[in-house]
């Protein structure tokens, strides 16, 4: 009896994973063919790099101090572009309504969207970081491999909350303005941790370990919170 129940549970998990994979692949394919989000994000963050670079024209030492803030602010604003169109795409032809009435678990849809956005923003970061290094003459004095951890945890923090609040803001009037209004206040601790960790690694003045642990905890808490609340938000009527 328990074996059968376990088998059923396993099958359910398999279905959930299948839905996640299918939605993720669909989003990636759409993006691969249209390249809407990634192009606008890239151009936007390129503009931020150029504008900040010539308006401040910092020395190598100064840019180590401020680069953490600049990089993450650029990525944050660029990520909003991708996040805003995550759910807007599903509103056309009532895809989201169809999803709501289907028995598919809402959290697998959420995870697919989060993973998709994570990949978009990670690609953006991988392409933009060399530009930042060139324009700001950056060289890490601290342990540079920790920057990978900061980038991974930081991007996850932005994307998981961003996807959740994007699902909230498509329910409001003036959708596109609503997302940053909701996302930024909640993200302040994560942004602070990312900026401080990056500055700590680049300048080598202090250890970034505390900030990385804080980011990981933030990710854990907010991923759990979003997963628990997503069904409520998706079905809010």
The single-letter DSSP state of residue 228 is H
- Nearer Cβ to other proteins, position 98 or 181? 181
Helix (H, G, I), strand (E, B) or coil at 35: coil
Does 61 interact with other proteins (rule: CB under 8 A)?
no
178-197 residues in contact with other proteins (CB under 8 A) are: 178, 181-182, 184-186, 188-190, 192-193, 196
The single-letter DSSP state of residue 237 is -
The single-letter DSSP state of residue 138 is -
For residue 195, how many C-alpha atoms fall within 13 Å in the half-sphere facing its CB? 18
- Nearer Cβ to other proteins, position 110 or 132? 110
End-to-end CA distance of the chain: 38
CA distance 7 to 76: 42
- Nearer Cβ to other proteins, position 39 or 217? 217
- Nearer Cβ to other proteins, position 61 or 237? 237
CA distance 188 to 107: 25
Does 110 interact with other proteins (rule: CB under 8 A)?
no
CA proximity to 183, closest of 72, 77, 36 = 77
How many chain residues bind other proteins (CB under 8 A)? 34
Residue whose tokens read 């990981």: 216
CA distance 167 to 163: 6
117-156 residues in contact with other proteins (CB under 8 A) are: none
CA distance 15 to 214: 34
196-235 residues in contact with other proteins (CB under 8 A) are: 196, 206, 210-211, 214, 217-218, 221-222, 225-226, 229, 232-233
Does 93 interact with other proteins (rule: CB under 8 A)?
no
What minimum distance in Å lies between the beta carbon of 69 and other proteins? 13
- Nearer Cβ to other proteins, position 103 or 185? 185
Contacting residues toward other proteins, per CB under 8 A: 161, 164, 168, 171-174, 178, 181-182, 184-186, 188-190, 192-193, 196, 206, 210-211, 214, 217-218, 221-222, 225-226, 229, 232-233, 236-237
């Amino acid at each position: 009896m328990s074996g059968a129940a376990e088998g059923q549970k396993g099958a359910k998990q398999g279905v959930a994973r299948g839905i996640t994979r299918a939605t993720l692949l669909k989003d990636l394919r759409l993006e691969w063919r249209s390249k809407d989000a990634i192009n606008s994000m890239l151009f936007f963050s390129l503009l931020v790099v150029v504008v900040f670079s010539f308006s401040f024209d910092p020395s190598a030492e100064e840019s180590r101090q401020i680069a953490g803030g600049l990089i993450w602010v650029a990525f944050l604003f660029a990520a909003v572009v991708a996040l805003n169109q995550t759910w807007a795409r599903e509103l056309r032809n009532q895809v989201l309504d169809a999803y709501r009435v289907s028995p598919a678990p809402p959290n697998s849809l959420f995870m697919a969207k989060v993973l998709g956005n994570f990949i978009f923003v990670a690609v953006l970061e991988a392409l933009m970081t060399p530009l930042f290094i060139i324009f700001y003459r950056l060289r890490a004095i601290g342990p540079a491999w920790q920057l990978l951890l900061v980038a991974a945890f930081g991007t996850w923090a932005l994307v998981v909350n961003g996807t959740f609040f994007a699902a909230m803001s498509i329910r409001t009037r003036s959708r596109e303005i609503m997302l940053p209004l909701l996302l930024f206040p909640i993200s302040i601790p994560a942004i602070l941790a990312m900026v401080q960790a990056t500055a700590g690694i680049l300048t080598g003045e202090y250890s970034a370990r505390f900030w990385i642990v804080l980011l990981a905890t933030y990710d854990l808490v907010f991923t759990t919170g979003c997963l628990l609340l997503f069904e409520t938000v998706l079905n809010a009527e």
